[in-house]
Amino acid sequence: MTIDVEKCHITHYPARVLGEPSLPVDRIDDTIRQLVVKMTDMMVELKGVGFAAPQGGVPLRLFIISLDGSRNNVRVYVNPTVKGEGPIVENEEGCLSVPGVYTKIKRYSIATVTATDLDGKTFTEQGDGLYARALQHEFDHIEGVTIVNRMPTIAHITYRRQLKKLEEANNDAGS
């Protein structure tokens, strides 16, 4: 797959790239490193704590997390697997690809991630709280799932106008 990093931009629900499982990263090269820089720029600019490649229009199994939203604390996850465990907790979530929608989402309280970093080293970490939530949220993106798929029916009703606006804007953009 050829990636034009310069053309990467935030994609919004219901863009096709957000609704399909992503492809594995074959090799970590300069293009992937440039993509991570671009993803970091978008995440920081939009004031997020995580960003998945599909949100930048690239269907790859890659995401970044920075719990304080800063460039300095970005962690890169290439071809990750995330497993949730522990009690299910409900907390409010937003998504950079679903602007204007903040809704309660149920997630596991603990998550374990195994991934590769940009140096090609595999690592495994376990997190709770915001970290566990961010891992599960970003992993959802590379699986083709957004908060729209996870939000309760009442939230769909509450945000129907906003979701309709996003759908209409996406149809106008032709993606």
Residue 20 catalytic? Answer: no
pLDDT interval class at 174 (50, 70, 90): low
Query: Using CA atoms, how far apart are residues 153 and 92, in angstroms rounded to an integer?
Result: 15
Residue 131 inside a domain? The answer is yes
Which range of residues forms the domain containing residue 55? 5-170
- Quick: pLDDT tens for 12-67: 999 999 999 999 999 999 999 999 999 999 999 999 999 999 999 999 999 999 99
Question: How many CB atoms within 10 Å of residue 56?
Answer: 26
pLDDT interval class at 149 (50, 70, 90): very high
Nearest to 51 by CA among 108, 94, 104: 94
**Cβ proximity of 171 and 83 under 8 Å:** no
Residue 157 inside a domain? The answer is yes
Residue 161 inside a domain? The answer is yes
Give the per-residue pLDDT at 172. Answer: 73
Nearest to 71 by CA among 32, 43, 101, 34: 43
Nearest to 151 by CA among 167, 163, 142, 138: 163
Count of domains forming the chain? 1
How much of the chain is in helix, strand and coil states, percent to nearest 5?
40, 30, 35
Give the per-residue pLDDT at 175. Answer: 47
Give the pTM.
0.95
Residue 51 inside a domain? The answer is yes
| Whether the predicted pLDDT of 69 surpasses 90 | yes
Query: Using CA atoms, how far apart are residues 34 and 151, in angstroms rounded to an integer?
Result: 33
Residue 175 inside a domain? The answer is no
β-sheet with 50-52: strand ranges across: 50-52, 62-65, 75-94, 102-116, 122-128
Q: Please report which helix (H) or strand (E) contains residue 137, including its range.
A: helix 129-142
For the record, the structure tokens of 66 come out as 């920075």
What string of H, E and C letters represents the secondary structure of 74-86?
CEEEEEEEEEEEE
Span between the terminal Cα atoms of the chain, in Å: 18
Given the residues 85, 93, 138, 167, the one annotated as active site: 138
Give the per-residue pLDDT at 170. Answer: 83
| Whether the predicted pLDDT of 173 surpasses 90 | no
Burial class (CB in 10 A: 0-12, 13-18, 19+), 106: exposed
Say which CATH number the domain at 111 has.
3.90.45.10
